[in-house]
Amino acid sequence: MTSLGYAGEAAKKTWNQFRGPGGSGVMEESEPPVMIQSGDLAWKTALPPGLSSPVIAGDRIFLTAFDEGRLLTIALDRRNGQELWRRLAPEKPLQKVHKANTPASPSALLDKEKVYVYFGSYGLLAYQHDGTEVWKKPLQTSKSLYGASTSPIAYKDLLILVTDDDANLENSRVSRSRVLAFSRANGKLVWETARPFLRSGWSTPAIWRHNDADELVVLGHGRVVGYNPLTGQEKWFAKGFSRETIAIPIQGRDKIYISSAQLGGVSDAEIDPKPFWDSMLTFDKNKDGKVGRDEITENFTWPLRPELPLGHPGWGLPLPSDPARRRERQQGIFGWADKNRDNLWTEQELSAHITNRPGRPILMAITPGGRGELGKEHIAWELNRSVPEIPSPLFYRDRIYMVRNGGTLAAVDPETGKLSYRGRLGGTGQYSASPVAANGHLYLLSDQGTLSVVKAGSKFEMAHRFQLPESASVSPALDHDTLYIRGTGHLWAYRRR
């Protein structure tokens, strides 16, 4: 049995986990529509809230959701979108999550017989494809900045899950951060490995196949680690990544590629402070080109992602909901940049702070055979430009693609790490969904629901742009002729006619 839970070539044709086969985001045999029109809509089905991506087995689609405080697993008919069944997870208090997250964000995992789901608030559940419960495994709820989003993966007969936890800081002698392997047959723990240097993270792990051996690669707080997937023994690690790691590792050309934006979502090592200042001028009520302490309003905070609209939960540094504590925090933030204490922010003062951030955005290429902390002999190259915050990179037809907030697509040579191009997609705002690829094209979805279709290659070539009827921030799924997009209220199926 392969690590995808299917045999041989069938594994490459089954969208059985987050981002499909091996987490790659690629299904070369698929032929979804390229010039998508409203008439290509095969069906749409209303869904409760959730951010898990669809996974597909035969004629069934599986997703998770939450409704009225309960966690759900839902099965749909792939042919017409009809709901086949839904199952409630055992009732437990819901994990605290960020406003941009949900309690149902991890994607399900499939094999020929079962669907496995993970909820940060509960743990693991396994069902037969017809909805019959097979086993359940309650797990300790991790303490997390934003709530759970990592998804389970499979290797041989194992289900592998990462449960990194901020409680590591509270008691350094006991590591609650772990990578766990369970038997897919009965849910019993096979091995567990502590991750004492890791706090909460949101990246889904990957199995790296190369000539030497299969390795489990896990990106987390500040570092990426390679393990033996059969035993959990640590083999190597590399540092240099952000506190907040989200992307799944991708592979190609006998390398594995790891990415994380700088803290706060910054994509380029050389930060342009102007967009940050322009966004702050929203608070300049008297239009004097400065922001005064008396111009602090409800949404005032430290800007993190100026490409987002003011009031978006990701626009700036989070603030307390209590009005008194919120005001106190805002006054403290104001003091960061007001170095001359004249109760005014100038562009120069803010720019000095914006460009003085710890860490760097990074796309790192790693070669096989490393042991312990990796050095230059196993780090082939680094790129510090156009690195996305949330979307994972895509390796497709011998090129790496990355899409970042604001709608910029970058293509990278996987051998040298040099940029081939940067192109504008036409979508704006945040990009949360990871790109997918099929039939020579990339499908890139913005949170506002703008779907851009770009031809794969060394030059930027836009093939089509389509506006989904609702906003969407979930990575799409593919089968042989259909693109599935989960929006804020529906699952949309666009099928080749």
**Residue 312's pLDDT band (cuts 50, 70, 90):** confident
Q: Is the pLDDT of residue 13 over 80?
A: no
Q: Over pLDDT 70: what percentage of the chain?
A: 96
Report whether pLDDT(173) > 80. Answer: no
**What confidence category does residue 358 fall into, taking pLDDT thresholds of 50, 70 and 90?**
low
pLDDT of residue 7: 41
Structural domains of the chain ordered from first start: 8-268+358-495 (2.130.10.10), 274-354 (1.10.238)
Contacts of 132 (CB under 8 A, 6+ apart): none
Widest Cα–Cα separation across the chain: 69
Stretch 195-221: mean pLDDT: 92
3-class SS of residue 452: strand
Of 261, 231, 236, 222, give the one whose Cα is nearest residue 367.
236
Q: Residue 12: what pLDDT?
A: 60
Mean pLDDT of 263-287: 90
Residue-wise pLDDT for 56-70, tens only, equals 999 999 999 999 999
Residue 128: which of 183, 181, 60, 78 has the closest Cα? 60
What are 78-114's pLDDT values in tens digits? 999 999 999 999 999 999 898 889 999 999 999 999 9
Please indicate whether residue 89 or residue 316 has the higher confidence score (pLDDT).
89
Distance in angstroms (rounded) separating the CA atoms of residues 357 and 481: 45
CA atoms within 13 A on the CB side of 408: 15
pTM, rounded to two decimals: 0.92
pLDDT for 204 equals 97
Cross-strand pairs, 486: 491
Cβ burial 349-373 (10 Å sphere, 16+ → b, else e):
bbbeebeeeebbbbbbbbebebeee
pLDDT tens-digit series, residues 243-271? 889 999 999 999 999 999 988 888 888 88
Spatial separation of the C-alpha atoms in residues 299 and 318, rounded to whole Å = 10
Does the structure show a pLDDT above 90 at 143? Answer: no
Query: Strand, coil or helix: what is 382?
Result: strand
Alpha-carbon distance of 117 to 103, in angstroms, equals: 12
- Up-side HSE of residue 389: CA atoms within 13 Å toward CB? 19
pLDDT at residue 450 tops 90: yes
Sign of CA dihedral 386, 404, 393, 100: positive
Lowest mean pLDDT among 130-139, 156-165, 168-177, 315-324: 168-177
Query: Does the pLDDT of residue 145 top 50, yes or no?
Result: yes
Rounded CA-CA distance 245/258 in Å is 10
Range from 215-219, 350-354, 421-425, 472-476 carrying the lowest mean pLDDT: 350-354
* Nearest alpha-carbon partner for 353 in 241, 410, 265, 276: 276
Cα–Cα distance, 433 to 314 (Å, whole number): 15
Distance CA 103, CA 388 (A): 23
Point out which residues pair with 395 in neighbouring strands.
400
The answer to whether the beta carbons of residues 385 and 361 sit under 8 Å apart is: yes
